[in-house]
Structure 1
Amino acid sequence: MYNNRLLQVVAIAALTSSVLANPIPLPREPVDKIPRGLPLVFDEVLLLDAPAFRTGEGNELTASIRMFTHVRQFDSSVVSGALTTAIEALGIEVGNKANNLFERTKLFLAIPRNGIEVNLDISGCDSFSIGDTANGGLLEKNAGIGACGGSLNQRTISGVAPGFFSNREFEATLFPSPPTGFGVISDVDDTIKISNVLDKKQAVKSLFIDDHQAVGGMPELYSKLDGELGNPAWFYLTGSPYQLFPSLRSFIFEKYPKGPMIVQNLTITDIQSIFKFVLDENNVRDYKIAQIEKLHGFYPQKKFLTVGDSTQADPEVYAEIARRHPDFIQCIWIRKVNEADNSDERFATAFKGVPQAKWKVFTEPSELMELDVASGKCN
């Protein structure tokens, strides 16, 4: 979904960050030399929503926690103006959407903090401490949270970081799910959100500037599935980096059934690694396969509907998982996007070895409204 124009914007943002991102003077020691431990007064924590799954024979739950710790930022019109100038220099009109641009790029400006440990509380479950964040300020770790009273209700994960005048609270949502039943794994860009992946200039506008817009008919389809599949576990798997998590989360929670969003790790401390990360055509494919394999490890007895589109590698990704774990994948739906490779040859190759009754390529969500996924009617 990314391109050279986007890379230019990110690179400009990275260069700008050293001058504009920090409201609080940092200690003389470099950030990565500051003592490890609990968050300090100039730290912020981005906590991502987490799935939870049962472990062993009992009701004990494990949560898959992800977080990003960085130096506290300051919302400045100077930063917003600099970013607006940078992106308009690429021939992209910002207009009255400067706030969107700033909100979606500010985490690209963040200076990561490593070695941070946070104390987390989940209402009705065991409290726990988790750390240390790695060199990119990122952490992904499973943590036991007890039986939570035997309930699988959604819960709030919360924590506190110290501040100068008041402590700063951060929170996310825990989504527990039973080992059996149904789940849905959905792509985001051009599957449920209009992203214009194949139009490079429009893709940058959709990513950073325009208000997020749902693909027509998809909210209604997902609402129907949520009821018919008996409150399934929802997972939103995107190639977007975690820096875009806040805005994408708001969009998904407003338009679609709530569930954790799985985003890529991308730090911008090493410019060369950014280019490799973004331009590697196999990156998103390998990343999505790895993440679905992880979900299979969490919920090996569930049955999943996977939904994607034809712009990138969703057909190939979902088909590969279906070949590896036939009982894990109930149905595969692929939205046909104009100007993508929608040839019969592509889909025949992608789905080789996958029963034809298990997958469907569609143009309009209305084509799917009468299908009974729970009974295995996929097309």
Structure 2
Amino acid sequence: MYTERLLRVVAVAAITSSVLSNPIPLTREPIENIPRGLPLVTDEVLLFDAPAFRTGEGNELTASIRMFTHIRQIDSSIISGALTTAIEALGIEVGNKAGNLFERTKLFFAIPRSGIEVDLNVAGCDSFNVGDTSKGGLLERNAAIGACGGALSPRTISGVAPGFFSSRPFEATLFPSHPNGFGVVSDVDDTIKVSNVLDKKQAVKSLFIDDHEAVGGMPELYSQLDGELGNPAWFYLTGSPYQLYPSLRKFIFEKYPKGPMIVQNLTLTDVQSILKFVLDDNNVRDYKIAQMEKLRSFYPQKKFLTIGDSTQADPEVYAEIARRHPDFIQCIWIRKVNEADNSDERFATAFKGVPQAKWKVFTEPSELAELDVATGKCN
């Protein structure tokens, strides 16, 4: 999806101008001499939407909390201009979309804050504290939140960071779910969002510049599934790094049933790691398999419909999980993308050992309209 040249050019442009976007001098490493503990007035907290699941025999819930803490960034037209110049030097027209470019790239160059803990409140549930963030400013941790009155409806997770004149709130959505019933795991790029991952230049435009565009017919299909499966638990599993989370979340919440998005914990302090994990299908495969296993640990009794596309490793990922846990995967749908490897040989190899009745490769979402996932009619 990304090219090394693009990443290096954008990195240089942002780094050279970021002294104007941050309240302290830039370094490529976390700031070590600032006190740790609760956030400071110079800190920003990005809290991710979280799934929640029941633990034990009672109604007690556990939330899977993820967050990123970094030095607060101040918007600057100079940064936007530098990034625009860098992208246009590659022959990609930015036009009036410089705002998209700036918003989608700025977190790549945020200065992480390690050792940060926060107090969080979930509406109607127990409050709790989580910490410490890693050297990269990231935290992923399960937290007990009580029974929440027995209700499993979405609710707000919130906290505050200190400000110069008043506290600055941050929040996300908690999505509790029954231990049984149905769930849907959906890929994002070229499954529900036009990303052009097989065309490097168009992929860059889709990623950083163009307004996000839904794949034709997919919002309608997902709305139909949401009703037919009785409001299932939705999860969006993407190989994209967490720096793209804000714009992707906005797009998904506007077009599709709401649910937590699972993104990779990658930072631009190590360019080679980004290239390794984002461009290498094997690493995307391993990452997605690990996340699917984690979901199963949260919801071992649920049955899942998994939806992906043929550009990267979705067929191989979902098939591997189906072989490991046949009762966990109800159906697998793979969208056939032009210019990808859509050969019969690929799918035969990928789905070896998976009953043919469980999986379907499709071109148009309308091909799925008459299927009944709830009864196992997958193709």
TM-score range, shorter chain: over 0.9
Asked if the contact 2:60–2:147 (Cα under 8 Å) also holds between the matched residues in 1, the reply is yes
Residues 17, 294 of structure 1: alpha-carbon distance in 2 compared, 3 angstrom cutoff: farther
SS of the equivalent of 1:185 reads: strand
Letter in 2 for 1:156: T
CA distance in 2, matches of 1:130, 1:348: 45
AA matched with 1:178: H
Alpha-carbon deviations, 1:41-67, whole Å to 9, x = none? Answer: 100000000000000000000000000
* Structure 2 partner of 1:212: 212
Secondary structure at 1:145's aligned position in 2? strand
Kindly provide the amino acid, as one letter, of the partner of residue 322 in structure 2.
A
Q: Which amino acid aligns with 1:216?
A: G
Could you tell me how far apart the structure 2 residues matched to 1:329 and 1:147 are? 28
| 1:257 counterpart = 2:266 | no
**Inter-partner Cα distance in structure 1 for 2:101 and 2:214:** 19
Residue 219 of structure 1 deviates from its aligned partner by 0.2
- CA deviations on 1:77-121 (whole Å, 9 max, x unpaired) are 011111111111111100000000011011112100000000000
Superposed structure 1 runs of 4+ greater than 4 Å apart: none
Letter in 2 for 1:259: G
2:74 equivalent in structure 1:
74
8 Å Cα contact 1:21/1:109 also seen in 2: no
Check conservation: 1:5, 1:204, Cα contact below 8 A: no
User: The residue matched to 1:31 in structure 2 has which SS?
Assistant: coil
Aligned letter for 2:313? A
Deviations 1:121-160 (A, max 9, x none): 0110000000000000000000000000010010000000
Instruction: Give the corresponding residue for 2:83.
Output: 83
Alignment of 1:376 with 2:376, yes or no, is yes
Name the CA distance, whole Å, in 2 between partners of 1:67 and 1:30.
16
Q: Helix, strand or coil: the match of 1:23?
A: coil
Q: What RMSD in Å do the two structures reach over aligned CA positions? A: 1.6
For residues 303 and 252 of structure 1, the distance between their equivalents in structure 2, rounded to whole angstroms, comes to: 22
Maintained 8 Å contact 1:14/1:268: no
Alpha-carbon spacing, 1:17–1:175, altered in 2? closer, same or farther (3 Å): farther
Task: Using structure 1 for the length normalisation, give the TM-score.
Answer: 0.97
Q: Where does residue 98 of structure 1 map in the other structure?
A: 98
Q: Secondary structure at 1:33's aligned position in 2?
A: coil
The Cα offsets for residues 309-334 of structure 1, whole Å up to 9 and x where unpaired, read as 00000000000000000000000000
Letter in 2 for 1:41: V
In 1, Cα distance between equivalents of 2:249 and 2:141? 21
Is the 8 Å Cα contact of residues 17 and 109 (structure 1) preserved in structure 2? no
Contact preservation (8 Å) 1:179, 1:300: yes
Give the whole-Å Cα distance in 1 for the aligned partners of 2:247 and 2:91.
23
User: Gapped runs of 5+ residues in structure 1?
Assistant: none
* Contact map agreement 2:116 2:131 (CA 8 A) in 1: yes
More displaced stretch, 173-182 vs 14-23: 14-23
Contact 1:156 1:171 in 2 (8 A): yes
- The superposition leaves residues 144-178 of structure 1 with CA deviations (integer Å, 9 ceiling, x where unpaired) of 00000010010000000001112111000000000
Q: Render the CA deviation track for 1:195-218: whole Å, top value 9, x for unaligned.
A: 000000000000000000000000
Give the letter for the 2:367 counterpart.
E
- Residue 336 of structure 1: aligned partner: 336
Unaligned runs of 5+ in 2: none
Secondary structure at the aligned position of 2:32 is classed as helix
Q: CA 1:6 to 1:238, structure 2 compared with 1: closer, same or farther past 3 Å?
A: farther
The residue type paired with residue 50 of structure 1 is A
CA distance in 2, matches of 1:294, 1:3: 30
Question: Distance between the aligned counterparts of 1:30 and 1:294, measured in 2?
Answer: 29
SS of match in other structure, 2:84: helix
SS at match of 2:295: helix
Distance (whole Å) between structure 2 residues aligned to residue 237 and residue 30 of structure 1: 28
**2:278, 2:294 → 1: CA distance?**
22
- How does the TM-score come out when normalised to structure 2? 0.97
What residue in structure 1 maps to residue 21 of structure 2? 21
Letter in 2 for 1:93: E
Residue 345 (1) aligns with residue 341 (2): no
- Does the aligned pair in 1 maintain the 2:14–2:79 contact within 8 Å? no
Distance in 1 between residues matched to 2:69 and 2:214, nearest whole Å = 30
Would the alpha carbon gap of residues 334 and 34 (structure 1) be closer, same or farther in structure 2, given more than 3 Å must change?
same
Match of 1:228 in 2: 228
Residues 325 and 13 (structure 1), Cα distance of their counterparts in 2 relative to 1, 3 Å cut: farther
Shift of 1:32: 1.8
Distance 1:21 1:56 in 2: 47
Match of 1:187 in 2: 187
Matched-pair contact (CA < 8 Å) for 1:13–1:108? no
Give % identity. Answer: 86
Q: Distance in 2 between matches of 1:279 and 1:235?
A: 23
Using the TM superposition, give the Cα deviation of residue 283 of structure 1 relative to its aligned residue in structure 2, in angstroms: 1.2
Look up the equivalent residue of 1:358 and give its one-letter code.
K
Deviation at 1:18, TM superposition (A): 4.7
Cα distance between partner residues in 2 of 1:50 and 1:176: 8
Contact 2:157 2:172 in 1 (8 A): yes
Matched length: 378
